Amino acid sequence: MKEVRVRFAPSPTGPLHIGGVRTALYNYLFARKHNGKCILRIEDTDQTRFIPGAEEYIIESLTWCGIKFDEGVHVGGPYGPYRQSERKNIYRSYAEDLVNRGFAYYAFDTPEELETIRKQYESEKKVFQYDQTTRLSLSNSLSLPETLVKQKLASNVPYVIRFKVPENREIILSDLIRGEVRVQSNILDDKVLFKSDGLPTYHLANIVDDHLMKISHVIRGEEWLPSLPLHYLLYEAFGWIETMPLFAHLPLILKPDGKGKLSKRDGDKGGFPVFPCNWKSPDGEHYLGFREWGFFPEAFINMLALLGWNPGTEQEILSEKELIEQFDLGKVNKSGARFDPEKAKWLNQQYLRKKCDEELADILKSKLQQKGLVADSSYLIEIIRVLKDRVVFVDDFLIQGDYFFTPPAIYDEPVVQKKVDKNLLLTIKDALFTELNQLNFNNEQEIDEALHRFATNNRVPAGGVMIPLRIALVGTTKGPQLATIMKLLGKKETIQRITNFLEYLFAN
CA distance 152 to 150: 5
Q: What are phi and psi for residue 334, nearest 5 degrees?
A: -80, -35
Nearest to 307, CA basis, from 26, 6, 28, 37: 26
Q: Judging by DSSP bridges, how do beta strands 170-175 and 179-184 pair with one another?
A: antiparallel
CB contact burial 396-418 (16+ within 10 A = b; e otherwise) = bbbebbebbbebbeebbeeebee
CA distance 189 to 127: 12
> How far apart, in Å, do the first and last CA atoms of the chain sit?
80
| 3-state DSSP of 403-439 | HHCCCCCCCCHHHHHHHCCHHHHHHHHHHHHHHHHHC
Contacts 24+ apart (CB under 8 A), 222-225: 222/249, 222/250, 222/251, 222/252, 223/252, 224/249, 225/175, 225/178, 225/181, 225/249
CA distance 185 to 191: 12
CA distance 104 to 89: 19
Rg of the chain's alpha carbons, rounded to an integer? 32
Nearest to 61, CA basis, from 301, 228, 313: 301
CA distance 218 to 214: 11
Q: What angle do CA 187, 192, 193 make, to 5 degrees?
A: 120
Query: Is the distance from CB of 471 to CB of 443 less than 8 angstroms?
Result: no
According to DSSP, residue 284 is labeled S
CA 162 to chain centre: 35
What is each CA distance from 61 to 1, 39, 263, in whole angstroms? 31, 15, 18
The type of residue at 503 is: E
Residue 150: active-site member: no
Strand-pairing partners, residue 6, are 38, 217
Among residues 68, 214, 261, 264, the one annotated as catalytic is 264
Q: Judging by DSSP bridges, how do beta strands 104-107 and 160-163 pair with one another?
A: antiparallel
Nearest to 462, CA basis, from 505, 419, 417: 419
Q: Judging by DSSP bridges, how do beta strands 71-72 and 37-40 pair with one another?
A: parallel
What are the residue numbers of the active site? 264
